[in-house]
Every structure is written in structure tokens, then in C-alpha cells.
Amino acid sequence: MRRRDILFTAVPALLHAQEKARLNGPATIRNVEMIRVEGRRKTEAGDVKNQHQVNPLHVYEEHRPAEYHERSKPAGEAKASALYLRITTNEGVEGLYGPIDTEAAIVVYQQLRPFLIGKDALAGETLWDKLHRSNRHSRSSHFMMAISAVDNTLWDLRGRYYSTPVYRLLGGPARKQVEVYGSCLGHSVEPERMRKTAAEFKKQGFRHQKWFMPLGPGDGAAGLQKNVDMVRILREAVGNDADLMFDAFMGWDINYAVQWAKQVEPYRPRWIEEPFHVDKMESFVALRRATSVPVATGEHFYGRWEVMRFLQSGAISVVQADPEWCGGVSELMKICHISSAYDAQVIPHGHSVHSALHVVAAQSPMTCPLVEYLISKMSGYYWFEKWDPAPANGRITLPETPGFGITLDEAKVEKRSVATWG
């Protein structure tokens, strides 16, 4: 063989070997740890924002809270703590994601951590499938929440590895900014306070607002009327050029939901969310057939299979799968693809913002038009992070930092430790 032929044969092989080493070496998972950060943050004077919402236990009189009245609190200081999952490769590339719910963190530490050591961090689909197959209880609840935490952290790691935001790895961006809807959990529904709050949020750019139903069947006919009046008052407050959505958090039954929906149809709610427990798919089907008010649910969906069943049955028109709970970014992307085939919108539940923002940013606005932003909760949720994904005029500008752009602000961390359980 001539020297020229040897050279042309050897160079591709050398490049292939280098590429193989780059992909298989640096991406091997070396460490999986849960980082606990603690500190203190200042709190502003103002309303307490502890308005209750109806929940399933409220059918029992002893579990129904008294009527809520807003009260004020002075400025002060509060303890703050959060858990972040950090996954590191053998060459020091790391992924960071959080805050992580404690119940998910325990499963990650006790059951998923040993399984992940030595695996290829770039093999996302394979890893998700193996995690899902690794335990008989993986299909739902805390185990799926733990898979979600790992999956989201690995997406951040891959973004840092390739020096690009996660939404670009997912095929985006589909837009430079993502519009949010303001979720008003905790804000008083006393008529005048609610009217004032809704109008103020609209001025701040929240053209879409979600409010939380405080009453249910246990509160009788008077309670039903208050829930109807709430919709009317809010429509008067924001006008006809804003969207209003309502959440009943599994606290109603089909008869109650139909009575409410029929009376509020003239006020054009964008949806009624989770009026029943997710196990009662037939109730969702019946409600959707009985009213023109769109029906939404999904924050308690665990994977694409539940979504598929609801869409096939015609139960809902809005899917609210949560990437912190449903299986992570990887699973939410599959849910988006399935939903698009049914012309159903995916508007992720806003337990957090980072992962939902990047998935929505990578999808068609027809499928994913909005991100949920819990106005009160998010005011301090990302206290320990340098970049707070807060909206300006109702929109979040996409970050250009690698991964999800999560970097802890060491100036706010007074104590750092590695959390362990058992």
C-alpha cells in the first residue's frame, strides 16, 4: 500500500478514535450528589398570600378551612434552603438542576444514584429507558419524580458539555421570548382585593391569568354562587382582551362542575383545570361534552401513556404535564409530539420554570403557547441562583448560557452540604 493510501486510511480512523474517546470518556458519570444550600433572604412587607384553594379533603366539614381574609405582614427575614442535584462526569463536566423536592431527592439518593455511576451521561434516551425499567414502581409518584430530576440534570449536563442552551439541543428556539401566564395561587379572592390584584397584574403584562377556586360541593349552593361570581368579577376587572383560567385542584364532582361551567360560559374562561382526580377520566369526558369551557389537566400525569389515554378519549383539550414530575424534559418532549397529533395544547404545570421554559421554547407556538409562572411562589423560589427566570411585561427572554443557565450565587449561600438519607 502506498504511503498516500495509508495516510488517507489512518486519518479517518484516528479522528474516529478521538471522537469516540471524547464521547465515551468525558461523559461517564462519576458522581451523583444532592447539594443542600442554606441561607437567609429578606421578605417584603405586604399581603401574606395564603388564600386556600378547594381540595379533595374539603368534602369533610372538619377539613374545610374557614373563610379566608387577607392580612398584612411587616418586612423581615426568613430562612431559605434548597436541594440541587449535581451529576459529574469523570472529566469534571457537571449538570446542576433544582430546586428538587425532598421526596424525589430521597429516591435519587437511595435508588438511582448507584445505578447511574459509570453510565454514559450523553445517552439520554437509553438512560431514561433503563431508569424506567429498573423498578416496578417507576411508572408514577415519587419514583417518576426522581427520574424527572435525573433527566433534567442530565439535559443541563449535556448543554454544558456542548456549550449550548438546552432549547437548542431540543431543536429550538421557536421564538426569542416565551409568554407566561400569571398563576395567582395564594392571592385573596375577596371581591375587591381580587378585582384590584387582577387589574394590577394585567398592567404588569400578565395577559393570561389563572385563579384558584376556593369552594366546592361541601360549601353548598352559596359556595357555588361565590365561585360563579368570582369569574364574573375577574372578567370585569381584566376586560375582554385577557384570558382567565381556573383551577379546582380535584375538589369537585361532575354535577358541581357542570353547574359551574354552564353559568360561567358567557365569561369565556380559557379553561377549567383539574376539577376531578386524574383517575376519573370518565368525568373529564362527561364535562368536556357538557360545556363549551375547555377542560385541562395533567400536572399529575406520569408519562406519555396517561396523556395518550386522555387524548384518545376526548377528555381534555389542554395537557399540563409537569417536567419536574412526568419524567423530565425527555418525556415532556414525547408528550408534546403526541399532543400535537390531536391538536391539543401542552402548557406545562409550573412547579418550576427552567425545564418547562426550554421545552416550550423549542416547540411550535401552536402546540406550546405559554409557560405557567406562579407569581407568589416564584418571588423567592430561585433565591440561590444568579439568574432568576422572571418575566418582564409577561415574557421571559431565553438565556444563551449553556444548559439551563443555573448557577448558584455563592454570596447568598451561608451553608452548603451534601445531603444523604439512610
Q: How far apart are CA 185 and CA 192, in angstroms?
A: 17
- Please report where in the chains the cell 353559568 appears, as a residue: 263
Q: How far apart are CA 71 and CA 53, in angstroms?
A: 17
Residues 6+ apart with CB under 8 A from 385: 406, 407, 408, 409
Domain assignment present for residue 220? The answer is yes
Q: Could you tell me the end-to-end alpha-carbon distance of the chain, in angstroms, rounded to an integer?
A: 63
pLDDT tens across the length of the chain (422 residues):
444 443 343 444 434 434 544 555 569 999 999 999 999 998 888 888 999 999 999 999 999 999 999 899 898 899 999 999 999 999 999 999 999 999 999 999 999 999 999 999 999 999 999 999 999 999 999 999 999 999 999 999 999 999 999 999 999 999 999 999 999 999 999 999 999 999 999 999 999 999 999 999 999 999 999 999 999 999 999 999 999 999 999 999 999 999 999 999 999 999 999 999 999 999 999 999 999 999 999 999 999 999 999 999 999 999 999 999 999 999 999 999 999 999 999 999 999 999 999 999 999 999 999 999 999 999 999 999 999 999 999 999 999 999 999 999 999 999 999 999 98
* Integer angstrom CA distances of residue 195 from 32, 239, 391: 48, 11, 22
Computed on alpha carbons and rounded to an integer, the radius of gyration of the chain in Å comes to 23
Domain assignment present for residue 325? The answer is yes
> Domain of 257?
167-409
Domain assignment present for residue 22? The answer is no
Domain assignment present for residue 135? The answer is no
Domain assignment present for residue 398? The answer is yes
Give the CATH number, domain containing residue 228: 3.20.20.120
Q: How far apart are CA 389 and CA 396, in angstroms?
A: 7
Orientation of helix 124-133 relative to helix 141-161, angle to 10°: 160
Cβ proximity of 40 and 107 under 8 Å: no
Grid cell of 5 as nine digits: 493510501
What pTM does this model have?
0.93
Q: How far apart are CA 199 and CA 49, in angstroms?
A: 17
245 - beta bridge partners? 210, 271
Domain assignment present for residue 405? The answer is yes
Domain assignment present for residue 162? The answer is no
- How many domains in the chain? 1
Domain assignment present for residue 136? The answer is no
- Give the closest residue to 403 by CA, choosing from 142, 147, 86, 144: 86
